[in-house]
Structure 1
């Protein structure tokens, strides 16, 4: 029979090859080394286990006489007992205080090793020292400090040689200047000239907030630019928020006001100060409404700001934010995206207010869905909102865009009949209109709590035609349909309701002549000169909202190109140039436009179309 070539997988053969274990004696053997154990096995036979130099049980010769010291019938007993012995000895000598759990030893009692007949040669102290020296030499430097002292030092770095630190003493403040991250310490001393600039800026901002017409935004911004960079570190948090508030107070958002506001916002962000929710919403409004007609560019800018506000600044959008996004998506004709924004607003649980209802009416108007428009208006009435001219103007705009002129005129007729008893309707500028909107929203909130008060609130709202009403009607019936009698009717009724002639009305009239004017038309040259003279008279009288910009100049020159000669067009251009206040870029643009107009004979660019 063969003997297994390994003792056991759990005992390393290398352990048996280095030194002779205690309790074992060695006897020369032709098969290598023989481990002799004096104990008996279960059958009373002694155990002789041959081990070669590689710590195996394989003999060097394979003759039958080589196995004379082990009987064939005792093979299994020999192997099992050897396993028990090695497990017992290894574990009891290496880990005398531990118990072990071995597969082979779990069913047998440990075997105590016998006294060695020849004591093993002990390891010399020099060898032990050399071993330690070699191990310690792996690390280059040591000191004499014990490890316990290092642990103590970690717990007490100063070892009580210094007084303990006083703090950190944290205190939560609820003061407004602390919550807003105060920009500058008010107790610090500034340069006298710098202090005077800050004082003038504070005074100008205060005047603009109390009496807006008394102070121009350009003057405030010029005072702000006088501060050295970084400018935000020289003004307080209160003045910082006031400055952003007044820069957002503009009647018509244009590229100039947008760039001015974002320049200040950039200074705030570069200085490390946060923006409030109102300031983020104002930035969104500027990014989406600084042009007359919103496109995909403005929509993408608004979405980028919304993403930055929520994911970078950590400020969650409000219902005002979603109203701005919904409005710009609708005006950019991305109606599917507008519906997604509308659904997101509903998912977040925002309640509809006046702005949302009006935007929804405008949305259905852009889709030319008059049934949806009427349903949105009915929902606004049922919600308890106060109806005024702004809401009805939105309804008229949607009906005209959908081609339902008769329905739009019926709404207009009801508006004219509602306030005929009023002898004078006060003019409503931008600031007054904003205040009226806030009051109407307050009435709606109170009316929901006290329904019996709502009829009285509705009586205070004016639903008579205003400037926006006539602008919509004249643009549609004049520029789009070319119905001059309707335009004359609307101009007469403007006088009845004391609506002043605005620059938007003159712009719509000149665009109508530029599109429908010509020989044999109702838009004759005599009527064009009549409108031109009225325009010059209103311009000399400094009428509100009347000035010459590139749009107005292009509309006037295009209208006269339908009737007049080249010399006459040049005379009109010289009259306009003497009265406008254009910068160098716009002046050069008008020169190029005049050249194309006179050379091509009545050239009219694509963007001279109807703007509602």
Structure 2
């Protein structure tokens, strides 16, 4: 048996590694009649506890008649072999045959004499046991064979552990599925449940009316406080409103994605249906929850699309294919993006404004400016409304292709657009989402009535917005380091009443950390301090869109470390940041570790640096 062989070897190695133990066991074996196991253990423990103590016995002291096999090196039940300093090649331990004496290949007669027994060995045989006696060791047996029991274990239905029936994915736009369950079919619950439902309805309504008035965390926490199964307490209308609220996120992230998919799982397990729009939102979460899409997000989107069409039997619409095309292009899977494009054409889906913008972005990623121009022209010819977002995509693509002159021309044309567009209200996430819906409606209207196409376009804003200046500042500031261009863009932001945002300051601090530190650079310490004070004033004044997170704090500290080359300045800025970022043990530990690494890279030494908590 291999297991017993390993046990035998482990005991052999453990005892042979301690020479005094080996000698003690051998001596104890010769001196005790019957080779009692307890005596062997006591001898080993005594030797381990008192290693200096010798347990040798003379030949006369152990000259008592013993049964053969008492010699531990020749016992059939021993795990110790002859006192040889190498492990025997074939262990006879735990074997049924009587061990025979072997002459080891010793190099001296003294070594050979050392293993000779002190007296002749008389073999002892153990009485064999019958089958009935061996079977009597167990109390009872079931009337089953090994093969039958293995078959029983392989069959989960016979064991009563059959897998639960998995609810299939259901996508439906039918009125019955959409409104199911009706208010009459709902679980009522007690008074506490009714209060929770009232708070949930109020939170969802508040989110849909004013997106920034309540967070999705609050809505999800109220939903999670319902008893399971939660979906049985929500009507069809409330279920769809919950999906609409959880899907309204300005920037998709992993937390929002997991939250949304948890609700999808609840709906699926409850046996209710989802709409195609809700599944497309799940598809969008799976592909866009990270800043830069990769093969992982592409595969996740394809898996959900396959589940949508193969399991639920619902074909994707133009929104579905636009999401697939967008994630494939951003992940650099251009062949897959082209296949998606061809599949969309084959199925006869009409290109909406989202797909046209994705196509412009696709050619920009491929550094094909001619393709960008062709895609933009096709969008105009198709009657789609051109707004600032479309032109921002064009500027970004031209800059990626290295055509700065073309990008500046587009920006110049945006500045020359109708001055009345400066009178529009502040454009935030909710406003932009509403504008996109209106533009989609205008596009459908203009295709049916071409004579009405001029009205929506004339009312659309084409002036630069925050996204425009974020693109320009990241290119001319972070990449090229042209301070004069950066100053011009900041002045023009004031003219077009574009509010300050954290992304603008982030681009500036990045530019200082990359291009600062040289004596003759335009990215001087004085300008860095001015930007820093402006950031603090705006942040303390409660300006919208300003934030201090780990990403912002890291670039601020890098900028001061490179431009000032002063540990005292960096520590002072660190304390200013620490007093303002959200209280979080994880953030504190991460930023403190980053500070130590930054100071170590600069070679400033650990003096006066806050200690990392253990």
Matched residue, 2:43? none
1:542-561 correspondence to structure 2 within 5 Å: 542-561=542-561
Superposed displacement of residue 377, structure 1: 0.5
Aligned length: 430
Aligned positions of 1:96-135 closer than 5 A: none
The equivalent residue for 1:478 is 477
Residue-by-residue CA offset, 1:61-84 (whole Å, 9 max, x unaligned)? xxxxxxxxxxxxxxxxxxxxxxxx
Change over 3 Å in CA distance of 1:414–1:527 after alignment to 2? same
Deviation per CA, 1:215-269, whole angstroms, max 9, x where unpaired?
Answer: 3222211111111122112222221111111000111112222222122122222
Q: Structure 1 residues 387 and 550 mapped into 2: Cα distance closer, same or farther (>3 Å)?
A: same
State whether residues 421 and 461 of structure 2, in contact with CA within 8 Å, keep that contact through their aligned partners in structure 1. Answer: no
Name the SS of the counterpart of 2:181 in structure 1: coil
Alignment match, 1:274:
273
Equivalent position of 1:597 in the other structure = 598
Q: Does 1:344 align with 2:364?
A: no
> Displacement of 1:211 after TM fit?
3.0
**Post-superposition shift, 1:584?**
3.2
d(CA) in 2 for partners of 1:599 and 1:183? Answer: 64
2: CA distance, partners of 1:577 / 1:351: 52
Alignment of 1:360-439 (within 5 A): 360-420=359-419, 424-439=423-438
Listed as ranges, the gaps of 5+ residues in structure 1 are 1-173, 604-612
Tell me how far apart the structure 2 counterparts of residues 442 and 209 of structure 1 sit (CA, whole Å): 20
SS in 1 for 2:499: coil
1:356 CA drift (Å): 0.8
Matched ranges for 1:444-593 at <5 A: 444-518=443-517, 519-562=519-562, 563-581=564-582, 583-593=584-594
Instruction: Assess if the C-alpha contact under 8 Å between 2:186 and 2:232 holds in 1.
Output: no
Residue equivalent to 2:246: 247
Deviates more, 1:208-217 or 1:356-365: 208-217
Give the secondary structure class of the aligned counterpart of 2:394. Answer: helix
How far apart, CA to CA, are the structure 1 residues paired with 2:441 and 2:186? Answer: 41
Alpha-carbon offset, residue 299 of structure 1: 1.4
Q: Distance in 1 between matches of 2:295 and 2:432?
A: 29
Hey, what's the Cα distance between the residues in 2 that align with 1:405 and 1:376?
19
Distance 1:178 1:302, change over 3 A: closer
- Answer whether contact 1:558 1:602 (CA < 8 A) is retained: no
Could you list the per-position Cα deviations for residues 535-573 of structure 1 after superposition, in whole angstroms to 9, with x for gaps in the alignment?
001101121111111211111111111023223212211
Q: CA deviation at 1:359?
A: 0.5
What is the CA–CA distance in structure 2 between the aligned matches of 1:289 and 1:574, rounded to whole Å? 35
Distance 1:475 1:198, change over 3 A: same
Q: Is the 8 A contact 1:549 1:582 kept in 2?
A: no
C-alpha distance in 1 between matches for 2:215 and 2:389: 27
* CA shift for structure 1 position 409: 0.3
What secondary structure, in the 3-state scheme, does the structure 2 residue paired with 1:209 have? helix
CA pair 460-423 structure 1, distance change in 2 beyond 3 A: closer
Moved more, 481-490 or 426-435: 426-435
Q: Which residue of 1 aligns with 2:326?
A: 327
Contact 1:425–1:497 (CA under 8 A) maintained in structure 2: no
Q: CA deviation at 1:314?
A: 2.1
Distance 1:525 1:373 in 2: 40
Is the 8 Å Cα contact of residues 253 and 289 (structure 2) preserved in structure 1? yes
Find the residue that maps to 2:481 and give its secondary structure.
coil
Deviations 1:383-439 (A, max 9, x none): 111111111111000000000001100110010011345553421111111111111
Q: Give the TM-score normalised by structure 2.
A: 0.68
Q: Secondary structure at the match of 1:229?
A: coil
1:550·1:586 contact (CA, 8 Å) conserved in 2? Answer: yes
Taking structure 1 as the reference length, what is the TM-score of the superposition? 0.68
Counterpart CA distance in 2 for 1:254 and 1:334 is 22
Match of 1:157 in 2: none
How far, CA to CA, are the matches of 1:407 and 1:187 in structure 2?
60
CA shift for structure 1 position 474: 0.5
SS in 1 for 2:349: coil
Structure 2: gaps (5+ residues) = 1-172, 605-614
Cα deviation, residue 472, structure 1? 0.4
Cross-structure match for 1:36: none
